[in-house]
A and B are shown apart, each in its own frame.
Chain A
Amino acid sequence: MITLAPGLYHYLIIAAILFCLGLMAILTRRNGIAILMGIELILNAANLNFVAFSYYVTRTLGGHVFVVFNILLAAIEAAVALAIVFAIYRHFHSVEVPDVNIMKG
């Protein structure tokens, strides 16, 4: 199954690593922009999965089309998130999530 030459499993493992790293970033980092980067890692991991499956399993372009939309949505989400981050910065003068916590409970 695992050979030296690249195969399906190699890509899937890379994607799984990216997913776990992304989740790690989201959970441990305090900076809002760093959390956004973690989200981008997870989205890229999913994209890699789709393209790898498209190549090795389904052998159609269905996966590719999904990835096109993914990239689009990731860009949109990043833009919206950053707009909100700007608004936060104007109010709180910090983008560290623990600092932005008036509401509790």
Chain B
Amino acid sequence: MDIATILHTAGFYFFALLTVVSAAIVVFNKSILRSVFALLFTLFGIAGLFLFLHADFLAATQVLIYVGGVIVLLLFGIMLTQKVVEADIRTGKIQFTPTLIAMGILFIFLLFLIFQTPWSTGGEHAQFGNGTTAAIGTLLMTEWLLPFEISSILLLAALVGAVSIARARRTNE
């Protein structure tokens, strides 16, 4: 066990725990503001895990768009729609526990799926030698061109519509 492997393993578990614990806070914490910050850490944790999977471009994109964009968006949303002092009363424990149990059962099903499937992991893991960015770029322009172009229309339509809805009332001339 050399130092590199130890660091590698330790690093992985650090990010894994960061992700999972933060996600738990997102779900169970009563304060919406704390939940959003916990989500921030969850997304960072995921970015870290991406790095351990040699997904450099994705890790960067995750930080840029998710952390930089979505979190900021959520924070604005909270700031503009919440009262300053939180008065959050959870709907009694009655609905909470059965859902928790149901989720537990679902999780067991998923574990079953994970362990029973013969994932074909023969051989070594992928070698993305010089980083993935250039390769992804080429793929987006060749094999995945159609989704790329279609998503630009989707982006435009969503933008137009979202601004239209969120804008303050203003009657048509």
Contact = CB atoms under 8 A, between A and B. Distances in A.
Interface of A: 1, 4-6, 8-14, 16-25, 27-31, 33-34, 36-38, 40-41, 44, 47-48, 51-57, 59-61, 64-65, 67-69, 71-76, 78-80, 82-87, 89-90, 95, 98
A24 B77 contact: no
Given A21-B23, A75-B69, A79-B73, A44 B115 contact: no
Interface in B94-117: 95-96, 99-100, 103-104, 106-107, 110-111, 114-115
Interface of B: 5, 8-9, 12-13, 16, 19-20, 23-24, 26-27, 32, 35-36, 39, 42-43, 46, 49-50, 52-55, 57-58, 61-62, 65-66, 69-70, 73-74, 76-78, 80-82, 88, 91, 95-96, 99-100, 103-104, 106-107, 110-111, 114-115, 119-121, 123, 125-126, 128, 132, 135-136, 139-140, 144, 147, 151, 154-155, 158-159, 161-163, 165-166, 168
Contacts of B100: 24
Closest 5 CB pairs of A and B: A83-B162, A83-B166, A59-B126, A16-B110, A25-B27
A48 B120 CA distance: 18
A82 B24 CA distance: 23
B42 A85 contact: no
B99 A71 contact: no
A47 B125 contact: no
B111 A24 contact: no
